Amino acid sequence: MSAQVIDGKAFAAGIRDKVAAHVARLTADHGITPGLAVVLVGEDPASQVYVRSKGKQTVEVGMNSYEHKLDAATSEADLLALIARLNADPAVHGILVQLPLPKHLDADLVINAIDPAKDVDGFHISNVGLLGTGQKAMVPCTPLGSLMMLRDHLGSLSGLDAVVIGRSNIVGKPMAQLLLGDSCTVTIAHSRTKDLPAVVRRADIVVAAVGRPEMVTGDWIRPGATVIDVGINRIERDGKTVLVGDCHYDSCAAVAGAITPVPGGVGPMTIACLLANTLTACCRANGLAEPEGLTA
């Protein structure tokens, strides 16, 4: 068997088109333009690339982008003061503080200072609790994008066995909550899981989010399973830097029913879902109908 390739790049472009159409209507009918504020502290090169890309795509869908680039030595008090200003600013519907933060800043404290209604990352403890109790929340972007691709490929997920490899707050845990919300039987596996290959082999759906290059190999995959590879790892191969996922693509694709490639799978969905979340936050803030198909 050779797996169907789930094209995240095309899927993300479709989401951006939907967001752009909704934004155009909001602006024309209500005079409202959604605004996303992105805060970057320091000069981490990977974070700079992400932030630039977020700003560009925000503008491309017709939203306002507000970038706040702060010195690496910025104090917690100054960062919290900026967040308080953004919380109070009616033109800002979404706030994202790029992670990781420099070590002297307490990321939990900073994230929990964001107004939960503007927390387009879905990392605020209120949104974590809302998602965990099946209530309307802002949902973390990478798991949301992964869920959208699964629903699109499989239709109903009800009753399927899902194994999420990785227990991070950003991907693994919210992914598991979303799959549970869609009535999957969910296992969260991690570095201490006993006989991980045997656990993964039971799964109809595998979500790999461990950050270990090509860890999951084809012999772990049940024939016909759907594989969502969240990993984005830079490795040296044949003297070149290449991007690989957490799954060994060729061997997994030979067994799976469908698989997301790296690059071009989950990656492009994350920013598309950030734009979708910003639109959703804007609609909620203004008591307007939410866009269909762009939320969990």
- Where do contacts with ligand GUN occur on this chain (CB under 6 A)? 96-99, 121, 141, 270
Residue type, 93: H
User: CB-wise, 22 or 54, nearer to ligand GUN?
Assistant: 54
Tell me which of 54, 119, 173, 229 is the catalytic residue: 54
Catalytic: 195? no
User: CB-wise, 66 or 161, nearer to ligand GUN?
Assistant: 66
CA separation for the pair 33, 294 (Å, rounded): 18
- How far apart are CB 111 and ligand GUN at their closest, in Å? 8
The residues with which 226 forms a beta bridge, in sequence order, are 205, 258
Q: What are the backbone dihedrals phi and psi of residue 24, each rounded to the nearest 5 degrees, phi first?
A: -60, -40
Tell me which of 98, 119, 229, 246 is the catalytic residue: 98
Residue type, 99: L
Catalytic: 121? yes
- How far apart are CB 279 and ligand GUN at their closest, in Å? 17
Catalytic: 135? no
User: CB-wise, 200 or 209, nearer to ligand GUN?
Assistant: 209
Tell me which of 118, 119, 121, 173 is the catalytic residue: 121
DSSP readout, 228-244? EE---EEEEETTEEEEE
User: CB-wise, 99 or 180, nearer to ligand GUN?
Assistant: 99
- How far apart are CB 48 and ligand GUN at their closest, in Å? 11
Residue type, 211: G
CA separation for the pair 295, 276 (Å, rounded): 8
Residue with tokens 């830097």: 241
Residue closest to ligand GUN (Cβ): 99
CA separation for the pair 106, 216 (Å, rounded): 33
Residues classed as catalytic: 54, 98, 121
